[in-house]
Amino acid sequence: MALATLQVASAWCPFAGRRSLLQAAAPAPLPARPTGPDPSNWTMLNYDFYTAGLPENACPSFQNIVKKEVAKATVLDSLTPAFLLRLFFHDCFVMGCDASVLINSTLLNLAEKDQTKSFSLNKFNVVDDIKTALEVACPGVVSCADILAAAAVECVEQSGGPHIDLAYGRRDGLESFAAAAATYMPGGFLRVQGLIESFQMAGLDEVDLVALSGAHTLGQARCSEFIQERFISPGSNSFRDSDYGLALQSYCAEGKNLGLDRKVTLDSNTSTIFDNGYFQTLVDGRGVLTSDNDLTLDNRTAPLVQLYASDQNAFFTAFAASMRKMSKIGILTGTQGQVRKKCYVRNSVDVVKSPNSNTEFSPISPTICKPAPQVDQKCDGT
């Protein structure tokens, strides 16, 4: 495949493929919206938490505000859904779905967002915008953990994916550790056995692994994340679509010569539409990351890849179920944690009432975060 034939989305994002909303099938009628407590009664989550629960939890405009802010951000940057969805994944896999990924580092502690695996995370500012709007509409009610969850499923739907109802009532964590991100977040270099073990640690199974990997239909990777794994030696090419692999290798090498760590889409078909194009990419031998490509080679996961590549409805159904499952990992509810006033710093904790509280994340300094590459990251103590 000659480089000239590869479709380029922008100067820095190749292999994006076609983007035609006309390709999307007419949406199926939505099932009846679930109501009341989450069937997993241990979670204390509720589908009506902000609409028909306790008066102090009332925020009927919650989901409409999330919908509006996500749409507004996506108009400004079509990659917004991919980034917000990835934020939710990182949050849930590291210390549970408690918005710990949003907390800034302090003078005393390096937080999750400043760990090496997190440097490509983005759109913290969109979460802040949603929180600001919600604090005007219903102050002190909606947690940042619920904002991340709602924004993730909204991104999926607005990108052409399935409608996913989640139960709410999560509370925000009080701490965040870079070491936890290093330990629990699965990397793109893992093979299926390592991925299965990582997902099992989070209470997820092999079906969840493959279904949730489908979020890579909106994903990207930098050349530095895969080039050494996929091209072990000069002239080697582990892509089953060898022409694609050679073009990709050339593209990354050219970027390196220019001092650039270029980005590549993980769905070579429809990279800004949430569909089953990612699985078709894998079946076509174009899986970019080792963790993606290996799903097609292991008999525990390959049949599911084939199924989702040929049946988008099957993928959507499985993805929705796995998202609901993932959204309950390690959650805080009831009186646990807190509802942060600002998502990037925890509220003050009364050390007299809570003498065992970790003080490393108290807002004690006018400059509480370690500078990170994201231009939209907050770095103030207000």
Element (H, E) at 312: helix 312-326
The annotation status of 206 as a binding-site residue, yes or no, is no
- CB 288, CB 230: distance < 8 Å: yes
CA distance linking residue 315 with residue 212, whole number of Å: 9
Q: How far apart are the C-alpha atoms of 106 and 358, rounded to whole Å?
A: 12
Give the pLDDT confidence score for residue 356 in this predicted structure.
Answer: 65
Give pLDDT tens digits for 40-94: 767 789 999 999 877 889 999 999 999 999 999 999 999 999 999 999 999 999 9
Q: Is 188 annotated for ligand binding?
A: no
Q: Which residue type occupies 54?
A: L
Residue 91 is labelled as binding a ligand: yes
pLDDT tens-digit profile of 145-187? 999 999 999 999 999 999 999 999 999 999 999 888 888 888 8
- The single residue of 6, 38, 74, 90 carrying the catalytic annotation is 90
98 is in an annotated binding site: yes
Residue type, 373: P
CA dihedral angle for residue 315, residue 318, residue 321, residue 324, rounded to 10 degrees = -50
Q: Is 287 left (phi over 0), alpha (psi -120 to 50) or beta?
A: beta
Distances (CA, A) of 340 to 7, 33, 92, 140, 143: 43, 28, 17, 7, 6
Active site residue 90: yes
Which residue would you say has higher pLDDT here, 66 or 29? Answer: 66
Q: Give 188-224 pLDDT, tens digit per residue.
A: 788 999 999 999 999 999 999 999 999 999 989 999 8
Read off the pLDDT of residues 337-371 as tens digits, 9 standing for 90 and up. Answer: 999 999 999 998 766 666 666 666 665 444 444 44
Amino acid (one-letter) located at 365: S
pLDDT of the residue at 360: 65
Does 154 carry a binding-site annotation?
no
Does 100 show up as a binding residue in the annotation?
Answer: yes
pLDDT in tens, 111-134: 999 888 888 899 999 999 999 999
Q: How far apart are CA 340 and CA 372, in angstroms?
A: 22
Three-state DSSP class for residue 270: strand
Instruction: Return d(Cα 298, Cα 293) in angstroms, integer.
Output: 10
pLDDT at 27 over 90: no
| Residues 130 and 151: beta-carbon distance below 8 Å | yes
Query: CB-side exposure of 237: number of CA atoms within 13 Å?
Result: 15
Strands 220-222 and 263-265, by their bridges, are: antiparallel
pLDDT bucket at 29, cuts 50 / 70 / 90:
low
How many angstroms separate the CA atoms of 10 and 287, rounded? 20
Q: Is residue 273 very low, low, confident or very high in pLDDT (cuts 50, 70, 90)? A: very high
Grade residue 30 by pLDDT with cuts at 50, 70 and 90.
low
Is 142 annotated as a binding-site member? Answer: no
Q: Domains along the chain?
A: 41-327 (1.10.420.10)
pTM to 2 decimal places:
0.85
